[in-house]
Structure 1
Amino acid sequence: MTDATLAPATTKAMKPAGPFSAWEVGLALRYLRAKRKEGGIAMIAVISYVAIALAVMALIVVMSIMAGFRSTLLDRMLSFNGHMFVQGQLLNTPEREQALQRIRAVPGVQSAVPVMTSYSLVRTAGQTNPAAVRGIRPEDLPATTYVYASIGDDAKRKFGQGLNGGDDILIGEGLAASMGLRVGDSVTLFSPTGATSAFGNLGGLDKAYRVGGIFTSGTAEFDGLFIFMPLEQSQIFFGRDAAWDAIELKLDEPDRVEQMLTPVVQAAGPGALVDDWRNRMAAFWGALKVERVAMSIILGLVVAIAALNIISGIVMLVKNKTRDIAILRTIGASQSSMLRVFFMAGAMIGVAGTITGLTLGLLFCLNIGSVQHFLEWIFQTKLFDADVYMLDAIPALVDPMDVVWVTLWSLFMSCVAGLIPSWQAAKLDPVEALRYE
């Protein structure tokens, strides 16, 4: 009865351990802590861990800074130019005002403003520069966010005041600096078409305007070229009657511009042509995407190279533990158990390095302003000149998809690097391994 009672318990106790059991995990951890006299495996593991952590951190930081620059640059350029544009025969018909109201009522449309753009020469004190004059209604000026925020209250109040919109204009900071202009100065604009009269077109026309304000859009190209003029005044000065060149739209979500095309076309009605910023900035947008993909591939290779350090460490570990492998195989350990032990040893290095790199990278990005100021204090120099880049600090935007991609790629390369030498350990013949022991 005693034997019958003990037999089931003995059988249960002798049941083989499953994959990734406690003894396999414990053995993998013990091998990673191998002593210096056993080949310095621990030192190689530390070096591999640090290399992976630094590579992952660099990938997170660089991709986040690139995303930050991309987002900030697009935000400023799109704030100046708009996200969608309605043009066509509709703008020359009396129904354009009704169409404008319908477009403004479309869900997702932040603002819709009529604009007119003409080209002119700007003269002052014997100096002449080309300029693009954008006509806009005074009440619509706040839609151009960065321009409106950069001018003073007096300029906001006086813009559009006076007969036919008045004579106050807003001039870009770059253009004003190149011509030595300040607020209150007089500047002469030349219209190649001129105003119209009862006798027809008068040809070229000069007119003096007052610099009511100097704006900064955050993009040097625009600041060095554009002038804002009340729409009514620009229509008269350039002899365009009551023309609109386009209705410029700003959306709540610029990335959803494709989904907004159909409702905007329907709201605009017949005779309208709808375009968006992706077509107008196709070259710029394409360059950004190519740069992003190229940088991701290059930095991904850096992570792969860092992970390859694991191979050398596990190869040395397998070589030093050949006798242990043979003994374990002799007393019943399977080939798959040996493969898992050394695979986990390599994977642990990769997982630890990945987690550390992600943590450091995210902390760096979230505190990039403080890091920048600290480095500037250490080196006593400006690392990011606001006068050059039009930004107060280095922008960093952490994209969750980038974090997921970096994590999966680092873990994948770590597992691949650990699997290669682990496979050799699993195929080791215990008889041959113990022959010369």
Structure 2
Amino acid sequence: MTDTAGVTPTPVKHLLRGRFGWFFAGRTVDLAGSSMTTVALALAVLQASGRVADLGVVLAANMIPTLVLLLVGGAVADRVRRRTVLIVTNLSTAVVMAVMAVVLITDRYDLVVIACLALVSGAVSAFSQPALRGIVPELVERHDLQRANALLAGSQNTVRILGPMMASVLVATVGGGWALAADAASYLLAAAAFTRIPGASRPPSAGRPLWRDLVEGWSVFRSMRWVVVMTISFAIVNAFNVGPWNVLGPQVVSGNDGAVGWGTVQTVRAVGLLLMSVAAVRIVLRRPLRDGRIWGTLAGLPLLAIGMSGDAWVVAAAAFFGGLGFTVAAITWESTLQAAVQEESLSRVASYDDLLSYLAIPLSQLAVGPLAASYGANEVSIACGVAVIVVSLLPLLSREVRNLRT
């Protein structure tokens, strides 16, 4: 890590004023709402139905439209003001959460109704994500992108710790319906904060059909070889990392140390994520992709710890360092993409990046169980940990990735 010579980043207190400050506030409240929703919705459905199968239907209904509509969301975010997209999506999500809350509070739970509302919520998310990734370069100077993304990562990691805890307390004390009502209120507050962001002008579409924007976005995406290389790398890393961590981690650690042990691992990992987010506010990397890939290898350590030991304290220590590496990799990638891609194409490129990176996750989660049954959970975890380390370094074979500077 090295400070970039010749560039004086904007002080944090100044960065958090004005347009980026309002976005930071809205994004933090938005993240708090979404982190609460994940837990509150799951607990509320289980509380109301008592059936795990219902929860699976609701979660699938929420995820599928996000993947299906993500590219359309990217095209829309590049076509209209991203500020407008964020206001509309937060208001829409607030309405969905409010209706869910009313259904549950009035004891009128119905799987079809809740699944349809989750479907709408997932569709809305497909439009908000590309807008969130594309708007930051409109709000800060180029040399402040890493600092801005580090601040956003810090708030994200903080609410990841506090949000689920708050949701659990609300569900336990006043019920799942009221927890979702609190979520609805948070989305309204986020929308109010986003209204204070000045709207950047967008180039006129001149009646151009949406499909042409999608094709143009794909052309921009594939024309940047280093972006394609990094996206493929992320997809493979997700395939080897997400399923084993979410499935084998709880199985092995809980088997050794109980549910508290796995909860401790997740908490320690979150601390690592948060600490590195804070550190990244003060430090700038000269070659962000190269350094991000090197730090990203640490994400393989928790899987190695699960396979070689499985004891909660060993896995927690590895997860702490894995959290450090994951944070650096995420911040450097986001900042580099925002600096290198033209603003009028950024949301579309980001949506292709998201879609291709996420597609491997469901396959990973489905495959890891049968693989562990055939070859052993410890063996699969070790193999996946090694694969994460190797695949994280593979993009360094590209000269563009190695040498690209901020």
Q: What TM-score range do you get, normalising by the shorter chain?
A: under 0.3
Instruction: Report which of the two has the higher share of helix.
Output: 2
Question: What TM-score do the two structures reach when normalised by structure 2?
Answer: 0.17
Rg larger in 1 or in 2? 1
Instruction: Report which of the two has the higher share of strand.
Output: 1
Question: What TM-score do the two structures reach when normalised by structure 1?
Answer: 0.17
